[in-house]
Structure 1
Amino acid sequence: MPLPADEPPPPGTASERTLDRALRVVIGTAMAMPYARRVAFMGALTRGVVGPLAGYRGRALANLALIHPDWPLPRRRAVAAEVLDNWGRTLIENYSWRELGAQLAVEPVAGGGLPHLEEARAAGRPVIFVTGHLGNHEAPRHVLTRLGYSIGGLYREMDNPLVNAHYAATMAEVSGPVFPKGRRGTLGFVRHLAGGGMATILFDLHAYDGVPIPFLGRPAMTATTAADLALRYDALLLPYWGLRRADGLGFDVMLEEPIPHATPRAMMEEATRRLEARIAAHPGQWFWVHRRWKRVRGA
């Protein structure tokens, strides 16, 4: 997939333009390779070069030491390497959305959530999928799109507007509209839900206006947006995950049982517990690079 070039890029600083040009060169080089080779190439590049140079390896190691001080250093290093490998693979997979869709063309949906989803679609009930930066979070959307579902999303824009412009385009190409966080984007997202739409929210980023919820043993500010909207619009709240297999290319797509409606905090506590269970089983597939445990408000 060529990078979008038919619209003028948003303004950016000199450093942002330099980073964007470098990323375009890397992605363009990878896209010239056969799919399996390009995915492996990007995994190796981010694991061995980009991640360490950008400080991501150090940040992942610091977060792993914070949460798992009992782990020996070699284990933390191995997990950090897997994190960076998965990040690079995920990045190029999402730019290669057609090939990723073909890779997922025959993948089943495991877990107990599919009958609930089918029932919601038949009733015209809105659905909010919650997930995290685990494996490839776009994999479930590909599989559900193949089954006839149109799924939008609410996402946080990247700091670099030039990179964000072409990365956001990869999300929009898969299924349903995507909305950036912020007043205008959230209004569009709300209208989409109010009309009986389906959309995804990644809830595992630090939220300054969230509530402190224990995550992997330490309090983390967590947005209650998904639960708030589910209650407001009587939407089904379904966790889903795209877990990478050992071959580095295939995925196990899991659609879990709905999270029951309760208080927003209780609902997000349950979503967090389910994410924690997946991370415990696949620690190298969660993006430990995020600054997830920033200072808790009021602490």
Structure 2
Amino acid sequence: MTKDTPAFRLDHWMQDRLLRALIWLLLRLPYQWRVPLCGWLMARMIAPLAGYRDRVRANLDRILPDLPAPEVERLSRAVPDNVGRTIIEIYSGAEFVGHATRFAPTGPGLAALDKAHMQRRPVILVTGHFGNYDASRAALIARGYRIGALYKPMKNRFFNAHYIRAISRIGTPLFPRGREGLADMVRHLRAGGMLGLLIDQHMNHGAPLTFFGHEAMTALSAADLALKYDAIVVPTYAIRRANGLDFDIVVEAPIPHGTPEEMTQALNDSLEAVVRKHPDQWFWIHNRWKPGRA
């Protein structure tokens, strides 16, 4: 074992084996059954045991304290349901891509993406853990764009290995956060590629910006990359349709260049507006509003 190889953890290995078995069983079912079933299993069985429903309630109580109790209870089930659907969709490969690309993307940012693609100008595509964030990547790749994705490796290295294989089937290249993926990511941008990343997780060393009116430590990386490589920054979202299987892919207008803080706050505001319209589709299970680290 090298110095950089994580130590073997029996609990991680067991968790991975259970998840592999569940995913294998679900993939034996027709797509239109497996997706809602995985959502139901996550909402009704896994989320209560993992404390996800309590996390949803706690975040809603803090951020939206005037929300009626029945709506809080609904969201405590609907949010994990969307998470479960998202997980099995990602593992469904071509079937998921087929649903993500059934309807053409819309929105005021499409013309800017087409122009940047033709001019080989770098683009930073920004979204959040909303709907199924990989649906927008699949839909825009199908449009002919060269899109790479920045991802955060999971702590469970056993699960991480096959998760990377799953998201690779949606599209490549993929770049791990940190030094390992930095050089390849920069080469991709300099060659006029598009880079997709998520902006809505707590970052200890991020900037103390606001999200839903509360301080939320937010990474400035999207804006920093855009300013350094003269890239346009475009928010994009995959909004799950009422049937629970298809998506509306929305591409918003580019964020004007300014200071990294101004640009990133605009991205936070964009995501907040979408979440307010579809609160059941955002991952309220995240610890988004933790205090920062000095």
Is the contact made by 1:154 and 1:186 (CA closer than 8 Å) also made in structure 2? no
- 2:84 is aligned with 1:88: yes
Is the contact made by 2:255 and 2:267 (CA closer than 8 Å) also made in structure 1? yes
Question: Pairwise mapping of residues 115-130 of structure 1 onto structure 2 (< 5 A)?
Answer: 115-130=111-126
- Count of residues paired in the alignment: 290
1:235-275 per-position Cα deviation (integer Å, ceiling 9, x unaligned):
11111000001111111100110011110000001001000
1:19-54 per-position Cα deviation (integer Å, ceiling 9, x unaligned):
000000110010000001000110000000011111
- 2:238 is aligned with 1:234: no
Is the contact made by 1:126 and 1:233 (CA closer than 8 Å) also made in structure 2? yes
Report the Cα offset of residue 10 of structure 1. 7.8
SS across alignment from 1:252: strand
Report the Cα offset of residue 72 of structure 1. 2.4
Residue 3 of structure 1 corresponds to none
Q: Give identity over the alignment, percent.
A: 45
SS across alignment from 2:280: helix
Distance 1:257 1:213 in 2: 21
Residue 247 of structure 2 corresponds to 251
1:41-93 per-position Cα deviation (integer Å, ceiling 9, x unaligned):
10000000011111111111111111011112221111121100000000000
- What's the TM-score once normalised by structure 2's chain length? 0.96
Question: Pairwise mapping of residues 146-165 of structure 1 onto structure 2 (< 5 A)?
Answer: 146-165=142-161
Structural RMSD (CA): 1.4
Q: Name structure 2 gaps, 5 residues minimum.
A: none
SS across alignment from 2:255: coil
Distance 1:124 1:152 in 2: 14
Report the Cα offset of residue 101 of structure 1. 1.3
SS across alignment from 2:195: strand
Distance 1:27 1:11 in 2: 25
Question: Pairwise mapping of residues 15-26 of structure 1 onto structure 2 (< 5 A)?
Answer: 15-26=11-22
SS across alignment from 1:253: strand
Residue 35 of structure 2 corresponds to 39
Is the contact made by 1:12 and 1:162 (CA closer than 8 Å) also made in structure 2? no
Q: Which runs of 4+ in 1 moved over 6 A?
A: none
Q: Relative to 1, partners in 2 of residues 1:10 and 1:148: Cα closer, same or farther, differing over 3 Å?
A: farther
Q: Which residue identity lines up with residue 71 of structure 2 in the other structure? A: R
Distance 2:7 2:125 in 1: 33
Distance 1:27 1:79 in 2: 24
